[in-house]
Chains A and B, each alone.
Chain A
Amino acid sequence: MQTPVLVFDHIRKTVTTFQPGPKLNELLASSASVATSGRPKKT
Chain B
Amino acid sequence: MNIEWVIPCRFVEVHDNLATIVGGGIDTLWVPELPAPLQIVLCVRLTGMPEELTEDQQHKAVNRVRDPSGTVISEMSGEFAIGVESTRPDWLVGISLPTAIQFEAPEEGTYTIDHMVDDAEYSIPMHVALGQP
The answer to whether A3 and B100 touch across the interface, beta carbons within 8 angstroms, is no
A39 and B133 CA atoms in complex are apart in Å by 6
Please count how many residues in chain A sit with their CB below 8 Å of the partner chain's CB atoms: 33
The answer to whether B103 and A10 touch across the interface, beta carbons within 8 angstroms, is yes
Residues in A neighbouring B100, C-beta threshold 8 A: 5-8, 24, 27-28
Min C-beta distance of A32 to chain B, whole Å: 6
The answer to whether A35 and B98 touch across the interface, beta carbons within 8 angstroms, is no
The answer to whether B39 and A31 touch across the interface, beta carbons within 8 angstroms, is yes
Min C-beta distance of B120 to chain A, whole Å: 15
Min C-beta distance of B94 to chain A, whole Å: 12
Which of A10, A14, A24, A37 contacts B104 (CB under 8 A)? A10
Chain A positions 1-43 with a Cβ under 8 Å from a chain B Cβ: 1-17, 20, 24-25, 27-28, 30-40
Which of B29, B39, B63, B97: most chain A CB closer than 10 A? B39
Which of A2, A10, A31, A34 contacts B65 (CB under 8 A)? A10
Binary flags per residue of B18-45, CB closer than 8 Å to A gives 1, else 0: 0000010111111110001111110000
A15 and B99 CA atoms in complex are apart in Å by 11
Min C-beta distance of A16 to chain B, whole Å: 8
The answer to whether A34 and B133 touch across the interface, beta carbons within 8 angstroms, is yes
Min C-beta distance of A41 to chain B, whole Å: 10
A9 and B40 CA atoms in complex are apart in Å by 10
A36 and B37 CA atoms in complex are apart in Å by 16
